[in-house]
Structure 1
């Protein structure tokens, strides 16, 4: 038996899941600079670091992977070395660079938010406030 037609609605149908995801991905440009980087390119960098850590955890053991990444153990002390060296370089250079960039961005944003006004603007406002006002308006009726 055929299905009866749906009654007409007052507007367009609600957007589907795919449309909502595309709209959210397009809205990433409205994020602050660090948030945009973290969503667009930072996820790739962090995913690569995570994949490298997981690979090393499976091959050399989780404790050794952590020790190599933190610089506690030399990558030449574990086997296989071919995967420990990139992990050591990641722990030595990439992770601190990401943390430093995040800290630098947050500090820069705070400084810009509290940035002092230009000296000429401050002096102009002080001069305007220092001017003597005219005589006060009369309070009597002039009728």
Structure 2
């Protein structure tokens, strides 16, 4: 029966879960643009859309909520209508906007990753590479 060795008394305590989560949240700016957008703005919009869908699922039924969200059923055809209209507008405007924004970020990232360099920059680099190497320095130190 061997017990685990006790931690050394001189070091700082290991970070707790709260500190690790806080550090991860602070590091979100290091993410690519799409990842940062998804965590900051996209998550809020998706949470609102999800909350509207859940509310409508409980009030008008899950099938009706899905059909109103997709635009197959008019919000005027379900009861209560007060919650179906915002869901319908979400399905008509917000969901395509989220998909378009995500596609735009991904396409922009790909274009920027493969963006052609300016001709002057390429020529300057080629000229620099074509220059003869400098003569070796004398090792005598005089």
Per the normalisation by structure 1, the TM-score is 0.78
Between the aligned partners of 2:70 and 2:89, the Cα distance in structure 1 is 10
Q: 1:7 to 1:33 in 2, by over 3 A?
A: closer
Shift of 1:25: 1.2
Shift of 1:125: 5.1
Between the aligned partners of 1:18 and 1:70, the Cα distance in structure 2 is 39
**What 5-or-longer segments of structure 1 have no aligned partner?**
1-5, 134-143
Between the aligned partners of 1:7 and 1:125, the Cα distance in structure 2 is 55
Shift of 1:65: 0.6
Between the aligned partners of 1:91 and 1:7, the Cα distance in structure 2 is 55
Partner in structure 2 of residue 138 of structure 1 = none
Partner in structure 2 of residue 139 of structure 1 = none
Q: 1:106 to 1:8 in 2, by over 3 A?
A: closer
SS in 2 for 1:73: coil
Partner in structure 2 of residue 54 of structure 1 = 54
Partner in structure 2 of residue 11 of structure 1 = 11
SS in 1 for 2:59: helix
Give the greater-gyration-radius structure (CA): 1
Partner in structure 1 of residue 115 of structure 2 = 115
Two-structure CA RMSD over aligned residues (Å): 2.3
Q: Per-residue displacement from partner, 1:19-56 (whole Å, max 9, x unpaired)?
A: 11111111111112221122123222111110100111
Tell me: higher relative CO, structure 1 or 2? Use CA pairs within 8 A at least 6 residues apart. Answer: 2
Q: Per-residue displacement from partner, 1:61-90 (whole Å, max 9, x unpaired)?
A: 111111110011111111111111100000
**What 5-or-longer segments of structure 2 have no aligned partner?**
1-5, 133-142
Per the normalisation by structure 2, the TM-score is 0.79
Number of aligned positions between the proteins: 127
Partner in structure 1 of residue 83 of structure 2 = 83
Between the aligned partners of 1:128 and 1:113, the Cα distance in structure 2 is 24
